[in-house]
Amino acid sequence: MRLGHQGTGSQTLLVQIVMALIKGVVIRSTGSWVAVMSDDGVIADCRIKGNFRMKGFRSTNPVAVGDVVEYQLQPNEDTGVIHTIHQRHNFIVRKATRLSKQSHIIASNIDQAVVMATISSPRTSTGFIDRFLVTAEAYHIPVSIFINKCDLYKDGDLVKLNDMMSLYSSIGYTCFTTSVVSGLGLQEVRSFLSGKVTLMSGHSGVGKSALINAIEPGLKQKVGVISEYHHKGKHTTTYAEMLPLAGGGFVIDTPGIKEFGLIHFDKQEVAERFPEMRVLMHGCQFNNCTHVHEPGCAVKSALNDGRISKSRYNNYISIINDEYFEEKEWD
Ligand SMILES: Nc1nc2c(ncn2[C@@H]2O[C@H](COP(=O)(O)OP(=O)(O)O)[C@@H](O)[C@H]2O)c(=O)[nH]1
Ligand SMILES: [Mg+2]
Ligand SMILES: [Zn+2]
């Protein structure tokens, strides 16, 4: 095709360029505006046109971070309109509010998840870690653990660090020890994240932003900003954000998300999401065993002889006693 023609030919070409659908990935979604990064790295603010809500699923946000979309640039504007959302490979949700039946899609098309924990300053409970692991397992998303701030730990904290590492490694989870201050583990983390879409979670203050900055200095995430979550049980309007890595891949920082709602979950399913329980369950006397009080329970006998850790089992009990499951009956 020859360019530089006069008259209608070039106008047609121009119209075709403007009308063309551009494919990209949603990197920020803040309500009605969505930032989409195209394959060649250009970021456009887009609006959503039409109804994209999924059937049989009530979510508060039709488009989520990680969605692959096609958008059209608006004539004479540098904004776009999203026309199509590609089918999601997976997505992770939380309850929109504590008691709501609606859910909020945190992110989609995730290759792997990471929970960042700290032994102290602040202490991360195993309850938080196990809930995150269980949720990732339920979505079949590979999940690993980063234990950060290792420069700080001495004496009792070092013992806890080693216990945590050996417990979760023995179950099969990949664990990294990291320190943004000393540089411990950062090279390993950089290659672990490269080329993948990684959802990163962890309490506020564990060092997610600091670690992202350390491996990707161009990103300049705000460090030490604790603003997200003032009142327990109330989700404020903080949004997940997808950060592009220079070596390919993205990290999804999920600020202010304290817990993932175990939505779309049956109580019965929870034990299956504990890999060390899953391999034993077939040995239980009853095939609908809840592993709480039944005779002939293979999980409880493994607990009694130390093959299953007390903290993991206690967290299992705590999860199945969640208020979310209260209205639900065991099948
Ligand atoms: N000693 C130490 N402090 C760290 C480390 N990583 C982060 N911090 C500090 O912990 C605080 C919270 O970090 P930030 O990245 O904002 O945590 P986020 O809320 O998880 O994003 C900041 O003051 C950081 O400087 C680390 O490995 N060692
Ligand atoms: Mg942060
Ligand atoms: Zn059992």
Residue 326 has pLDDT above 70, yes or no: no
Residue 264 has pLDDT above 80, yes or no: no
Nearest CA to ligand 1 atom 28: 149
One domain for residues 27 and 138? no
* Mean pLDDT of the 200-214 span: 92
Nearest CA to ligand 1 atom 3: 149
One domain for residues 187 and 282? no
Q: Which amino acid is at 310?
A: K
Residue 4 has pLDDT above 50, yes or no: no
Q: Which among 209, 231, 253 is the end of a domain?
A: 253
Residue 260 forms part of a structural domain: no
Question: Ligand 2 (ion): which residues have CB within 5 A?
Answer: 208-209
CA of 181 to the centre of ligand 1 (A): 9
Q: What is the CATH number of the domain that holds 42?
A: 2.40.50.140
Q: Regarding predicted confidence, which is higher, 5 or 72? A: 72
**Where does ligand 1 bind, in terms of residues with CB under 6 Å?**
148-149, 151-152, 179-181, 202, 204-210, 223-224
Percent of the chain with pLDDT over 70: 79
* Mean pLDDT of the 21-37 span: 90
Q: Which atom of ligand 1 is nearest to the CA of 182?
A: 27
Q: Which atom of ligand 1 is nearest to the CA of 224?
A: 16
Residue 261 forms part of a structural domain: no
pLDDT of residue 286: 96
One domain for residues 247 and 288? no
Pick the ligand that lies closest to the CA of residue 286: 3
DSSP E strand boundaries for 178-286: 197-201, 241-244, 250-253
83-92, long-range: CB within 8 Å, 24+ apart, which pairs?
Answer: 83/21, 83/49, 83/50, 84/21, 85/52, 90/139, 90/140, 90/141, 91/64, 91/66, 91/139, 92/135, 92/136, 92/139, 92/141, 92/199, 92/260
One domain for residues 195 and 130? yes
One domain for residues 227 and 116? yes
Q: In a mutational test of the pocket of ligand 1, which residue from 132, 152, 178, 180 has the highest number of ligand atoms less than 8 Å from its CB?
A: 180
The rounded distance, in Å, linking the Cα atoms of 173 and 112 is: 12
* Mean pLDDT of the 76-91 span: 90
Confidence of residue 322 (pLDDT cuts 50, 70, 90): confident
Q: Regarding predicted confidence, which is higher, 50 or 242? A: 242
Residue 284 forms part of a structural domain: yes
pLDDT of residue 105: 86
Q: In a mutational test of the pocket of ligand 1, which residue from 209, 211, 251 has the highest number of ligand atoms less than 8 Å from its CB?
A: 209
Instruction: Report the predicted TM-score, pTM, of the whole model to 2 decimal places.
Output: 0.86
One domain for residues 246 and 276? no
Pick the ligand that lies closest to the CA of residue 186: 1
pLDDT of residue 231: 34
pLDDT of residue 247: 85
* pLDDT 10s digits, 270-308: 999 999 999 999 999 999 999 999 999 999 999 999 999
**In the chain, how many domains are there?**
3
* pLDDT 10s digits, 152-168: 999 999 999 999 999 99
One domain for residues 31 and 70? yes
- Domain encompassing residue 238: 110-253
pLDDT of residue 62: 84
